[in-house]
Structure 1
């Protein structure tokens, strides 16, 4: 049975379990896999950073109200956030790092900044 290098596709000679023709092809193949994974992570992180920046810009004092229309027009993506926090009275705040929002009614949102120590 012929075996081909997973990176360049050339015929492999040697051990039965060999997957690459040389160390260069092994490195290229594994680096390509890492790059594809990192692109997904980079894309999500960029969305989270943008969401946080929008919340910071619209909430300079730590607590304010705004509309969904303002958030969306600034480029906010409601599908991405870092965590949710449910209060004892059942309100759910959605956070992007330390900045978050609470859906009020219709198209209104309460923007907040969570003050906590990271220590």
Structure 2
């Protein structure tokens, strides 16, 4: 039997693999390229979500200067805020729901206004 027909091939570049029996790629560059390609969809999704969350936090931080502020929803939308993305919620005893982007939060009020706030008791 020909030795080349049993030769393992790199799944990235299809060159022969030499070395240990459990080696899967011909080089670190091929291993990295293969794994980056396989994880790119998940990585891009997570990157986009994190970018949106950071942008939302930055907008809240810029608009809220004294710990609490009342602001119209349109001002956040104009700045590019995405209300579909937040990191957590907090419900008060009376049923008010605060939404947070990390430590920066808001409470939806009447007539399109929001109360901006900063969460003070985050664990370190």
Pairwise TM-score range, normalised by the shorter structure: 0.7 to 0.9
User: Does the 8 Å CA contact 2:91/2:98 hold for their aligned counterparts?
Assistant: yes
Q: Does 1:38 align with 2:43?
A: yes
- Per-residue deviation at 1:112? 0.5
Query: For the residues of structure 1 that align with 2:73 and 2:32, how far apart are their CA atoms?
Result: 47
Q: Does 1:114 align with 2:122?
A: no
User: Does the 8 Å CA contact 2:103/2:122 hold for their aligned counterparts?
Assistant: no
Query: For the residues of structure 1 that align with 2:119 and 2:33, how far apart are their CA atoms?
Result: 44
* Structure with larger Rg: 2
Once the two structures are superposed, the pairs formed by residues 46-65 of structure 1 within 5 Å of their partners are 46-65=51-70
- Per-residue deviation at 1:99? 0.7
Query: For the residues of structure 2 that align with 1:6 and 1:85, how far apart are their CA atoms?
Result: 48
- Per-residue deviation at 1:84? 0.6
Query: For the residues of structure 1 that align with 2:101 and 2:47, how far apart are their CA atoms?
Result: 16
Q: Higher helix share goes to which structure?
A: 2
Unaligned segments of structure 1, at least 5 residues: 11-18
Query: For the residues of structure 2 that align with 1:108 and 1:50, how far apart are their CA atoms?
Result: 20
Query: For the residues of structure 1 that align with 2:102 and 2:95, how far apart are their CA atoms?
Result: 21
Unaligned segments of structure 2, at least 5 residues: 1-8, 16-23
Corresponding residue for residue 78 of structure 2: 73
Query: For the residues of structure 1 that align with 2:120 and 2:35, how far apart are their CA atoms?
Result: 42
TM-score, structure 1 length as denominator? 0.77
CA RMSD of aligned residues (A): 3.0
**Number of residue equivalences:** 118
